[in-house]
Amino acid sequence: MSVIKYIKLSEKLEKFIRENGISGRLPGLYKLAHELNVNHVTLYKAIHHLAQQGKLEIVPWKGTYVVGGNMVRRKYHAIGVLGYCYSAESAKMLFDELNGELASTCYKILRIETYCALLQENPRLLLNYPVDGFVFLGSSITREMLDVLQENSIPAICTVNENYPELNQIGMDHVEGYGRAISMLMEKGYRKIAFLSVDRSPSFQNYIDDIRNIFADKLGKNFDPGYFLVLDSEDFFRRYGDDYLTKMAEHAIALWKDKPPEAIISFEQVLCRLNEKYPQTTTVSFNSMEPISGVDYYFCEDIKGILELAIKRMFQIFKGDKTITRQFVKFINKKYNIYIKQEDSK
């Protein structure tokens, strides 16, 4: 009796793994089928055959791993961080502080300052960094980048995003934060509350969708889609260069004309320009910067809190923890982080 095709292929796959020294995650099904020049359906059966024999382990949402293989083969004792949003000086202070706390672990965190678009265009550049894992803040990760990391058994943690269910996720609780900001404004009697921000990459579009839902839910019949603006920042930059933030503010002013909102939630660089046109309008900024003139209320991101949780989670992954977790960090609510106009504090 002839050997069943998938059993014969499983032997070929074992040899491929052995000869290529694969000790972590296997390449994706279709890529592996292409490399082996075989049918992906037959390969799927061969993989499950080896899994039944205990030679491979299929981890839902993550991939297929060689049993006994080291999930993390790198030993640089460093964790890379991409997508940082602080100024260079503030970032250095924070990274120095965190690395001081890590001194006893022999690990360090490395701030990767490369323009993220470069890594998104060529994800394999990630393999050149001497780190054992990556933490991606904001929208700095893409599916292509994730595929490269998983194929090379390099763990990653990203901002909370439903489009990456196979990753551990740690990020700001925007639902709670924006909800708290809107409730604060409504308690002060405001009903015409606007939102102005920039669009996100397709894989992070849910961020904007979540905020829109918060506005609609909190404001109810007072929610006005005309006050909810999401602009294409790349388009404005191409058209106006370094003056693009001013042009974004002018665009909002033109749309709202003589019916300005009572309060605006946005980021401070635009709010300062809007405040010049609408000095009586209350402004609320969600960001990670120091308070500056022209903005009334600040809800600041706890970047340190995110990184501390991410580092702790990464150490658990290094030890072999394969569970997937999602953790939220609340916006900082301390007196020195929420700047209030003098007349409001009387």
Sign of the Cα pseudo-torsion (143, 144, 150, 153, in order): negative
The phi, psi pair for 87, rounded to 5°, reads: -70, 160
CATH architecture, range 5-66? Orthogonal Bundle (1.10)
Per-residue pLDDT at 84 exceeds 50: yes
- The SS3 call for residue 80 is strand
Kindly report the CATH number that applies to the domain delimited by 78-171+304-329. Answer: 3.40.50.2300
Q: What is the pLDDT of residue 338?
A: 41
Cα separations (Å) of 175 from 50, 182, 210, 211? 44, 11, 7, 7
Per-residue pLDDT at 89 exceeds 50: yes
Q: What is the pLDDT of residue 70?
A: 44
CATH H superfamily, domain 174-302+335-344: Response regulator (3.40.50.2300)
Question: Same CATH topology for 78-171+304-329 and 174-302+335-344?
Answer: yes
pLDDT bracket for residue 340 (50, 70, 90): very low
Q: What is the pLDDT of residue 310?
A: 97
> Which neighbouring-strand residues pair with 110?
80
Q: What is the pLDDT of residue 221?
A: 96
pLDDT digits (tens, 9 = 90+) for 10-62: 999 988 888 877 777 888 888 899 989 999 999 999 999 898 888 888 876 66
pLDDT digits (tens, 9 = 90+) for 191-200: 999 999 998 8
Q: What is the pLDDT of residue 342?
A: 37
CB 310, CB 205: distance < 8 Å: no
pLDDT digits (tens, 9 = 90+) for 231-242: 998 899 999 998
Q: Where are the beta strands (DSSP E) in 118-274?
A: 133-136, 156-158, 168-172, 193-198, 228-231, 263-266
Cα separations (Å) of 235 from 73, 121, 150, 232, 247? 42, 19, 33, 5, 11
Q: Out of 115-124, 141-150, 173-182, which region has the weakest mean confidence (pLDDT)?
A: 115-124
d(CA 299, CA 41): 51
- Report the pLDDT averaged over residues 198-214: 86
Q: What is the pLDDT of residue 289?
A: 55
d(CA 128, CA 23): 19
Burial of 45 (0-12, 13-18, 19+ CB in 10 A): middle
- The full set of domain ranges for the chain reads 5-66, 78-171+304-329, 174-302+335-344
Q: What is the pLDDT of residue 268?
A: 81
